[in-house]
Structure 1
Amino acid sequence: MHPETPPLAPKPNRLAAGLSWLAAGALAVAALFFDILRAHSQGLEWVQGFWRQEVVDGTPTIDVLFGVTVIVGVVAVAVAALLVFVAGQHRADIAVGSFGMGVFVAADLHWFLIVASPPQGTLTHSLRLGFWLLATAAVVALVALILSFVGRGRRSRDGLTVEALRDRPHS
């Protein structure tokens, strides 16, 4: 930045992007507390969550770690939100946030494909609130990514944004 150029005020799109990254992370954390799907097969019913798999008839719960990948995504979008607020015009928030969004999309796609392509037989699935919260987190993260791109100023050859050059006092 040149000494005569005043620092740019944060743009509303950047603020909205940061808040959207935070909202995506909050939705993903909320999803971890709910079930992903419920399945029925030959009189047996079980519930799949991010941290457990449980047969409804009362047999012991099996611990699973499907929530670990979601936590990695939450950390990524939280770091992206932090970078939006502290990194100014750098593109690090886009890279880190894209990774987090990709984690959410991959997890949702995994569970959706399980439901969409059941094995032969009488197995039926239904998606539960945890899946839908994670899907919403992925959509909100996509909105944050778009806002991060829109919030960028166009750059001139000397590194200043076009808006800064236009608003700079002429000497």
Structure 2
Amino acid sequence: MPSTLPAHAFVALGSNLADPAGQVLAALDAIAGLPHTRLLARSSLYLNAAVGHADQPDFINAVAQIETSLAPHQLLDALLDIEHAFGRERTFRNAPRVIDLDVLSYAALQCHDTGLTLPHPRMHERAFVLVPLLEIAPDMVIPGLQAAAYYLPGVAGHGLTQVADSWTNQTRTA
């Protein structure tokens, strides 16, 4: 059952297996197709090395802004269902993955529940989250912290490269 009022949320997407750019673009389409949810904006795709794992393929990352009537845990469950449908396997922490979807923030909510912490506890420490987030929401304030742009100098030099893509979902409004 959806909540009554729509909320804006940000979702991080990443992949480093089986055509990562294609996986991220397909996941954007899947997010756009969630019930009671509308895709408002999505960032460019960004290439970066796997953090802390030089033996893994590089990642493609992006961030999406959505409006949803799904409650935070419902949104998380829907994203986990998308990961499962894409074949995501959780073999070990930070394992290579066909798709990874994380709720970064949900309205101004701050919570630490079983399975869900909002805002995402490391979003301000990761260039592959901050750069695409700031591309689509330059004035974003991380709930309980500061403006997202404040943290950008701390992730400078993390080796992030914007890449071209050909996403053509006609339902987007961004």
Q: TM (normalized to structure 2)?
A: 0.24
More strand per residue: 1 or 2? Answer: 2
More helix per residue: 1 or 2? Answer: 1
Q: TM (normalized to structure 1)?
A: 0.24
